[in-house]
Amino acid sequence: MDSNNRGAGRRRMLKQGKVILTDWTVLDCIVRDISETGARLAFGGPTSLPKEVRLLVVSSNEMFPGEVAWQRGLNAGVHFTGPPQPAPARKL
């Protein structure tokens, strides 16, 4: 494990993302870094996330199932709970 207690090294990035809630509510975010096991997200304003979310990385059209591991200020960490899937055809 790396020095931040993560099982996988993170890659810094600055990509558009969308957090999809269980009722298909969509919240825009920026993916600040990502690894095989999770991602750090930044939001434009205060956001209260539920435990279970899906993260869509817009540029790759991949959707990751996940759980919110932490939330501080405008940032949140998501732990992926499964492999990414292609995003559905509907426009998010």
User: pLDDT tens for residues 30-87?
Assistant: 999 999 999 999 999 999 999 999 999 999 999 999 999 999 999 999 999 999 999 8
State CA 41 to chain mean position distance. 6
- CATH code of residue 35: 2.40.10.220
In a domain, 4, yes or no: no
In a domain, 3, yes or no: no
What are the CA-CA distances from residue 16 to residues 4, 33, 44, 92 (Å)?
Answer: 24, 11, 12, 12
* pTM attached to this predicted model: 0.83
Decide if 47 contacts 26 (C-beta within 8 A). no
Query: 41 is in which domain, residue-wise?
Result: 11-83
Domains contained in the chain, number: 1
